[in-house]
Amino acid sequence: STLIAETGGLNAMIIDSTALPEQAVSDVLTSAFQSAGQRCSALRMLYVQSDIAEDFLQMLFGAMDELQLGDPRCFATDIGPVIDAPAKRKIDAYIAQAQARGDVMKQCRWSSVGQSAAGHFVRPAVVSVNGIEDLHEEIFGPVLHVATYEAKELDRVIDAINDTGVGLTFGLHSRFDDRVQHVAERM
């Protein structure tokens, strides 16, 4: 007999101070929130170099305000519903716990499309964490975790990501070829 298994992962992305912010924001939105975050390859953990974090996050949050939740068959829709009611309850509960701790940095507003469409919708959220070591399980939905790092801490960030042992995908936004090579060799 044949077994085909698809695993989840705490997939990470690093954005350094040389990244093109518009391109990085677009990739973050696509990876973290497309398919309502319910893809095994979805971005779960974003590290942003502290030198650019404030401006980058402001741009990301502004772009999140433009996302439309609704029927995925409509071209105007950016984010459809999650798979079922139990998934919605679990994701909403996780976001509520983060909100109670003061860790939710941003949650999308409801769009008029999302309010009228049928389905189990979860508003995409960004949650502040210290690093990937704070994630104890994959939240299989539109939840992005964000941490900042100093340039000198890049190898520590790579070690933390590698130490999880459960990453399927990795992304890096940098315009330094040497940095790209270094990260690729270590990841």
Spatial contact of 174 and 154, defined as CB atoms under 8 Å apart? no
Q: Active-site residue 74, yes or no?
A: no
The C-alpha atoms of residue 146 and residue 111 are separated, in whole angstroms, by: 24
Annotated catalytic residue, options 40, 54, 66, 74:
40
Return the sign of the alpha-carbon dihedral for residues 10, 183, 158, 28: negative
Instruction: Give Cα 170 to chain centroid, integer Å.
Output: 11
Angle at CA of residue 86, ends 85 and 90, nearest 5°: 115
Residues tagged active-site: 6, 40
